[in-house]
Amino acid sequence: MDLATADATAQAEFVRSGQASPLELVDAAIERIERINPSLNAVIHERFDKARAEARAPLPDGPFRGVPFLIKDLVCQTEGDPYHCGAEFLKRLGYVADHDTYLAEKFRAAGFVFVGRTNTPEFGSTITTEPLAYGPCRNPWNLGHSTGGSSGGSASAVAAGLTPAAHANDGGGSIRIPASECGLVGLKPTRARVSQGPDTGEAWMGATVEGSVSRTVRDTAAILDAIAGFMPGDPYPAPHQARPYADEVGVDPGRLKVGFYAGPSYPGVPVDAECVTAVEGAAKLLASLGHRVEGARPDALCDPDFQGRFVGIVAAASAADLDHWGEVIGRPITSDDVEPGNWRFAEMGRALSANEYLGHVGWMHSYQRRMASWWADDGFDVLVTPTVALPPPPIGYLSDPEHGMTRLVQMLQYTAQFNVTGQPAVSLPLHWTPDGLPVGVQFVAAFGREALLVRLAAQLEQAAPWAARRPPVHA
């Protein structure tokens, strides 16, 4: 019984069968965190005493009863625990959450035991986890490289075997990108599949969504089952879920019509050859499994106006977020409180007029329809792209004050589009570079069709297994 390599489903079965107690699982996870985390800086808030007490007490009889779990330190508040969102001013204040979010309640009801909270960039605003408040999180495949972001702490911890799965969220790629860079499964669910209440109805024009990172498709599917569902007061529901996603694992997806594209999404912006190779390899694998595969993509994917419109929406939200935190702490947030990039972002948002902001929203609504037509009218089931346009870059590459923004634009070519459209998308670890860095491949389905992605992901997992592959830094 190797708890460092067993997935969450297996660990839950150990508890159900009496092979291990919840306390034994939690103690083992704490030992792994204490031993390995100093090399990674993935877990920034330990919750060890509380976790042990909860493991000793009666736990909800959920599907993951007694399984240790980590919560990203962004969006998912847990009552009585630090909640800093990667921000130095909240760290200085020692800010502590005064309630559980609905999501935290659902994780608890599933039986998970929270052993800590994970590192994230300040307010989740970039795709590398290097906050000034807590320092860089390191990739267990190569400690000199980024984990991706903004769920980088969660991805690093799971890849290194600290816990079998962890909470993650995604507003422009923040589940899929860390999954790609750390060799994990990262599914971004359909918009509104998971409630963001009670504090939030929607954020970033509905682009943000909650989920997890894990090593196996069955864990990802079963965790989504545990947290999905409409909550009272949510602004809108996701399409009906016909049956549990866990039941889709192992189901034949049928012969799918698949388009693949590995070219640039923005004119003149390069794509690394390893990322192209990853997509081409996935296309060949899909064809060998009997799917109809062709080089094709929605025209809207490469619309040059998308990036600026998306930045405008996120910048306005960033300005509103800083105003919110000013109300929470009882004084205005200043440029001394936040990292320079986030301050510039908020200033950009404040400069937008109401008409300009609504113009961005209207443009995005039209964009969603243009994108959806590829699936609805052209008859495609799945689009395959790189998850990001570069393998995991070195620490400091994206946080460089002079070149970081240009480099970020190069990397972030394929994910944010599907936050705006609300479509489900999953990154799967199907390729490694010659020097051992993981490169994920993204699979996108039509709105509401997570079940199809789970079926296809499970088929690919069986054809090209990845869960037994271990990084050099592993518990």
Centroid of chain to Cα 112: 18
Among candidate residues 174, 180, 214, 265, the one labeled active-site is 174
Residue of 125, 146, 150, 151 marked active site: 150
CA 229 to centroid of chain Cα atoms: 18
Task: Report the distance separating Cα 431 and Cα 85, nearest Å.
Answer: 31
> What DSSP assignment string belongs to 233-259?
T-S-PPPP--S-GGGGTT----S-EEE
Helix or strand (DSSP H, E) at 187: strand 185-188
Backbone phi, psi, residue 455, to 5°: -60, -45
Cis peptide before 401 (omega within 30 of 0): no
State residue 29 phi and psi, 5-degree precision.
-65, -40
| 150 among known catalytic residues | yes
By CB atoms closer than 10 A (0-12, 13-18, 19+), residue 189 is buried
Peptide bond into 151 cis (omega under 30): no
> Among 392, 448, 454, which Cα is nearest to 418's?
448
* Beta-bridge partner residues of 442: 385, 427
**Known catalytic membership, residue 72:** yes
Residue 433 in 3-state DSSP? coil
Q: Say if residues 440 and 186 touch (Cβ distance below 8 Å).
A: yes
Length of the chain: 475
Strand 257-260 to strand 292-295: parallel, antiparallel, or no bridges (unpaired)?
parallel
Helix 217-227 and helix 102-109, axial crossing angle in degrees, nearest 10? 120
Q: Alpha-carbon distance 251 to 217, whole Å?
A: 12
Beta bridge partner(s), residue 169:
210
The 3-state DSSP class for residue 229 equals strand
**Nearest alpha carbon to residue 442 among 463, 404, 411, 402:** 411
Task: Answer yes or no: 174 catalytic.
Answer: yes
Contact of 163 with 68, CB cutoff 8 Å: yes
Angle at 139 between CA 136 and CA 144, to 5 degrees: 70
Residues assigned a catalytic role:
72, 150, 174
